Amino acid sequence: MASAAKGRSRVLEYKGHPLRRKDNLIYYGSMSDKYIIMLQVTESKAKEDLNIATRVVVQLQYTDPDLKSRDRVLKKSEKNSFYEAIDVAAVWLERALASG
């Protein structure tokens, strides 16, 4: 018997905003909002059978497709773990969306 949820993919969320991954890039937020966060894993190390991020670039960006890619970036930082990066990303995104 087929389940209603079987055809739909589940969206991973963090603090109420979606997370989407493409290779070493993770997008945090919705493209329908004015701002989004891009997390880029630039360095990782193997620990047992997992790759652990050791350097992550965090960027707060406009989602406006008419802007050049360099003009979209509002804030940029580099963190030493994914936890630190997503923690900063959550604060930046909430503040940006709250300010309009």
How many Å separate Cα 54 from the centre of its chain? 16
- Where do the DSSP E strands lie in the chain? 12-14, 17-22, 25-28, 35-47, 50-62, 73-79
Q: What is the dihedral of CA 31, 19, 77, 71, to 10 degrees?
A: -20
Label residue 14 left, alpha or beta by phi (over 0 means left) and psi (-120 to 50 means alpha).
beta
Residue type, 78: E
The pLDDT, as a whole number, for residue 90 is 97
The pTM of this model reads 0.84
| pLDDT digit string, tens, across residues 28-58 | 999 999 999 999 999 999 999 999 999 999 9
Q: Is the pLDDT of residue 1 over 50?
A: no
Tell me what pLDDT residue 7 has: 54
Under the banding of pLDDT at 50, 70 and 90, the label for residue 6 is low
